[in-house]
Amino acid sequence: NAGVTQTPKFQVLKTGQSMTLQCAQDMNHEYMSWYRQDPGMGLRLIHYSVGAGITDQGEVPNGYNVSRSTTEDFPLRLLSAAPSQTSVYFCASSKQGQALNTGELFFGEGSRLTVL
């Protein structure tokens, strides 16, 4: 019962470095998304995908890239990390049309990123 798996769980970067947060799900979910969680701001949507080969921007996409080459994987790339990207990142997935799109998301355990 792996569900949604995120790696790494913790990462420290220097300003300007690049990195990729990995997200994989084994539930054959069409919909996948990335959120960032900051104190006092809840979770905000960065990017999402409704299926392989299809991605779109969420509320706070600047500084992040995504791709969806397979149904299972949805990596989030930071090309040039900035201190403002220090946050906890969550990947979430759901089956398209699940219970008529009732919105229940399955979350990973989060990745804490610190940019110095």
Partner 1 sequence: AQTVTQSQPEMSVQEAETVTLSCTYDTSENNYYLFWYKQPPSRQMILVIRQEAYKQQNATENRFSVNFQKAAKSFSLKISDSQLGDTAMYFCAFMKPDSGAQKLVFGQGTRLTINP
Residues that bind partner 1 (CB under 8 A): 30-31, 33, 35, 40-45, 48, 50-51, 56, 58, 88, 90, 92, 94, 96-97, 100-105, 107, 109-110
Q: Nearest to residue 45, comparing CAs of 63, 31, 59? A: 59
The first and second tokens of residue 1, run together, are: 């019962």
Burial class (CB in 10 A: 0-12, 13-18, 19+), 73: middle
Residue number with CB closer to partner 1 (3 or 75): 3
| Cα–Cα distance for residue pair 63/78, rounded to 1 Å | 6
| Cα–Cα distance for residue pair 94/35, rounded to 1 Å | 14
Residue number with CB closer to partner 1 (65 or 106): 106
- Closest approach of partner 1 to the CB of residue 103, in Å: 4
- Closest approach of partner 1 to the CB of residue 16, in Å: 27
- Closest approach of partner 1 to the CB of residue 116, in Å: 22
- Closest approach of partner 1 to the CB of residue 51, in Å: 7
